[in-house]
């Protein structure tokens, strides 16, 4: 039997056994699901399935398990490592979660909410605000990524310093396992020491262990106020000293601490309309930091005093505190515009790395020197969540300095050098974006044999037929 008729028989079986699940097969319908948002990965698929209920998804998975069909869960398709794109075989089933998008419950007194995986992050934030609460996960992609995808990648973002990663924000998970069984652990408990923490295993598993269908999330009271500053600093060492000063003075109120090089500001201002540099002072590095509080406090005064102290200590060259919500928004828009500006500016290589915060200055110095010595046409645009020790150590080839193919040819050597330096500083080669397809070999290289064994054993135990997102994370 040829592949086309085998696929036809498989699809017929899925249609018969999974009533109610929309199955897209027409090229114009499936196209948006077959490549990633950066158009770096392209695949083919047997079909795209769009279940609407947990029961439908469970029936679908049970059928896929029986027939040995590889499945690729897909949320908002905003991730960076190709994890949501099927392979080239045309034999895998993409399962889109977008139709499972109900807010199931909000318990304001318990500061928790239960939402389905297909809710957009922005929808979750709005629903929390509507109940007088605050959900602190914040990413530039909030309007298009889904909470299921956020949990599957254990997303980080702009508020990790104060509130933690997606895993830290989660009380309970519901998921369909590879054989169609439903893992139901939507408890909204802060304390629950009953055996292995299975929800934490599913969070960050990038669709390789099961499909997350719902989550119970932690909420906070609505924030009372914030104070946001854009600060010019001489170098990374000064930024890290400023971080320590701010943590000492503001404690838990320090929500965000982003490090931005001048190159990133220039790219954003050049490629993204309505963005402009907040400070006249030209500096090599800038910090965007924000204090937030749940009670009525003089945050501007606290930030101003701390920045004055930092200026006296020679750490700060210039600073502006947002005088209005519009100005605050403008600071953040500038920051959030950087990934899109990089995309428009030309081909690039991305590294989503973390090192201990104390090691950032040395890492940046060494890695920048390597780039300067080995990547002659590339412009370093290293920015990100310095308060968490996480930088997007990206390099762009601007204004036609190299073709995408030339950059792709150089990428393995560059990546190896940067990641070896990360490892030498005790860091991680994936701080927040995950492994997907992009970093399968990197995970093997920088992870101990014992850890890899444990991961493979967990994978085999939960997915013995290897149908969950084949080829991703642990590879084949």
Which residues contact ligand 2HG by CB under 6 A? 140, 339, 350, 384, 392, 394
Nearer to ligand 2HG by Cβ, of 350 and 419: the residue is 350
Binding string, 103-122, against ligand FAD, x = CB under 6 A?
--------------x-----
CA atoms of 240 and 324, how far apart (whole Å): 27
Q: Partners of 293 in the beta sheet?
A: 225
392 binding partner (options ligand FAD, ligand 2HG, none; Cβ < 5 to 8 Å by kind): ligand 2HG
Cβ contacts of residue 191 below 8 Å, gap of 6+?
Answer: none
Are 115 and 135 in contact, with CB atoms under 8 Å apart? Answer: no
Rule CB under 6 A: say whether 339 interacts with ligand FAD.
Answer: yes
Q: Minimum Å distance from CB 427 to ligand 2HG?
A: 16
Host H or E run for residue 226: strand 225-233
Q: Which does 145 bind (CB under 5 to 8 A by kind): ligand FAD, ligand 2HG, none?
A: ligand FAD
CB under 5 to 8 A by kind: which of ligand FAD, ligand 2HG, none does 83 bind?
Answer: ligand FAD
Phi, psi (deg, nearest 5) at residue 301:
-65, -45
- Tally of CB atoms within 10 A around 222: 12
- The verdict on 148 binding ligand FAD (CB under 6 A) reads yes
- CB nearer to ligand FAD: pick between 396 and 469: 469
Residue 75 contact partner, candidates ligand 2HG, ligand FAD, none, CB within 5 to 8 A by sort of partner: ligand FAD
Candidates 56-64, 67-75, 103-111, 276-284: pick the segment binding ligand FAD (CB under 6 A). Answer: 67-75
- 125 sits near ligand FAD (criterion: CB under 6 A): no
Q: How far is CA 25 from the centre of its chain?
A: 29
Residues 368, 373, 378, 380, Cα dihedral to 10°: 10
Please check whether residue 19 is in contact with residue 53, taking contact to mean a CB–CB distance below 8 angstroms.
no
**Partner in contact with 350, chosen from ligand 2HG, ligand FAD, none, beta carbon below 5 to 8 Å by kind:** ligand 2HG
Q: Which of 164/237 has CB closer to ligand FAD?
A: 164
Of 390, 374, 269, 407, residue with least CA distance to 330: 269
Evaluate whether 317 touches 234 at the Cβ level (below 8 Å). yes
Q: How far is the CB of 84 from ligand FAD (least distance, A)?
A: 4
- The DSSP secondary-structure symbol of 205 reads S
The residue range among 17-25, 62-70, 74-82, 319-327 that interacts with ligand FAD, by the rule CB under 6 A, is 74-82
Out of 56, 79, 379, 396, the only residue in the binding site for ligand FAD (CB under 6 A) is 79
The yes or no reply on residue 159 touching ligand FAD (CB under 6 A) is no
Interface residue with ligand FAD, options 43, 51, 70, 83 (CB under 6 A):
83
Among the listed residues 185, 350, 433, 439, the single contact to ligand FAD using CB under 6 A: 433
**Residue numbers 236-295 binding ligand FAD by CB under 6 A:** none
Q: How far is the CB of 334 from ligand FAD (least distance, A)?
A: 13
DSSP states along 357-390: GGGHHHHHHHHHHHHHHH-TT-EEEEEB-GGGTE
3-state DSSP assignment of residue 76: coil
Which residue's Cβ has the minimum distance to ligand FAD? 149
Between strands 47-50 and 71-74, the pairing is unpaired
* Minimum gap (Å) between residue 2 Cβ and ligand FAD: 29
Whether 151 contacts 215, CB under 8 Å: yes
Instruction: Tell the burial category of 12 from Cβ atoms under 10 Å away from its Cβ (0-12, 13-18, 19+).
Output: exposed
Nearest approach, Cβ of residue 378 and ligand 2HG (Å): 15
Q: Is 97 in the site for ligand FAD (CB under 6 A)?
A: yes
Instruction: Using alpha carbons, list the distances in angstroms from residue 402 to 116, 166, 377, 395.
Output: 43, 37, 8, 12
CA–CA dist 357, 363 (Å, integer): 10
Q: Which of residues 188-247 bind ligand FAD (CB under 6 A)?
A: 206-207, 211-212
Q: Which residues bind ligand FAD (CB under 6 A)?
A: 37, 72-80, 83-84, 97, 117, 139-141, 145-146, 148-150, 152-153, 155-157, 206-207, 211-212, 339, 432-433, 436, 469, 472
């Amino acid at each position: 039997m040829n592949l086309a008729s085998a696929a036809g028989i498989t699809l017929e079986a899925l249609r018969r056994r999974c009533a109610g699940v929309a199955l897209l097969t027409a090229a114009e319908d499936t196209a948006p699901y077959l490549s990633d948002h950066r158009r770096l990965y392209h695949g083919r698929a047997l079909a795209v399935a769009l279940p609407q209920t947990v029961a439908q998804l469970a029936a679908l998975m049970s059928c896929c398990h029986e027939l040995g069909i590889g499945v690729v869960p897909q949320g908002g398709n905003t991730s960076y490592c190709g994890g949501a794109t099927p392979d080239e075989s045309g034999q895998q089933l993409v399962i889109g979660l977008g139709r499972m998008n109900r807010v199931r419950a909000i318990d304001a007194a318990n500061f928790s909410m239960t939402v389905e995986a297909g809710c957009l992050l922005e929808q979750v934030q709005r629903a929390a605000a509507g109940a007088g609460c605050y959900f602190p996960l914040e990413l530039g992609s909030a309007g298009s990524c889904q909470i299921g995808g956020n949990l599957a990648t254990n997303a980080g973002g702009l508020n990790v310093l104060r509130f933690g990663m997606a895993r830290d924000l989660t009380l309970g998970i519901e998921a369909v396992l590879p054989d169609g069984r439903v893992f139901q652990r939507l408890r909204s408990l802060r304390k629950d020491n009953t055996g292995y923490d299975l929800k934490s295993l599913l969070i960050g598993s990038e669709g390789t262990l099961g499909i997350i269908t719902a989550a119970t999330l932690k909420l906070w009271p609505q924030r009372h106020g914030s104070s946001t500053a854009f600060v010019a600093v001489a170098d990374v060492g000064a930024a890290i000293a400023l971080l320590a000063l701010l943590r000492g003075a503001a404690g838990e109120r320090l929500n965000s601490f982003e490090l931005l090089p001048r190159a990133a500001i220039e790219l954003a201002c050049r490629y993204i309309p309505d963005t402009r540099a907040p400070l006249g002072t030209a500096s090599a590095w800038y910090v965007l930091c924000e204090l937030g509080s749940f009670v009525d406090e003089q945050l501007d005064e606290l930030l101003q005093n701390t920045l004055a102290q930092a200026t006296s200590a020679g750490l700060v060259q210039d600073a502006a505190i947002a005088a209005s919500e519009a100005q605050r928004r403008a600071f953040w828009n500038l920051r959030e515009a950087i990934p899109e500006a990089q995309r428009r500016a030309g081909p690039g290589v991305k590294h989503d790395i973390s090192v201990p915060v104390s090691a950032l200055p040395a890492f940046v110095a060494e890695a920048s020197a390597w780039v300067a010595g080995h990547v002659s046409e590339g412009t370093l645009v290293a920015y990100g969540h310095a308060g968490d020790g996480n930088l997007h150590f990206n390099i762009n080839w601007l204004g036609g300095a190299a073709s995408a193919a030339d950059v792709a040819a150089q990428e393995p050597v560059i990546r190896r050098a940067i990641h070896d330096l990360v490892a030498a500083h005790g860091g991680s080669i994936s701080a927040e974006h995950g492994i997907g397809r992009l970093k399968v070999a990197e995970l093997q290289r920088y992870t101990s044999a014992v850890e890899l064994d444990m991961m493979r054993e967990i994978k085999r135990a939960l997915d013995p037929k290897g149908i969950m997102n084949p080829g991703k994370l642990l590879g084949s």
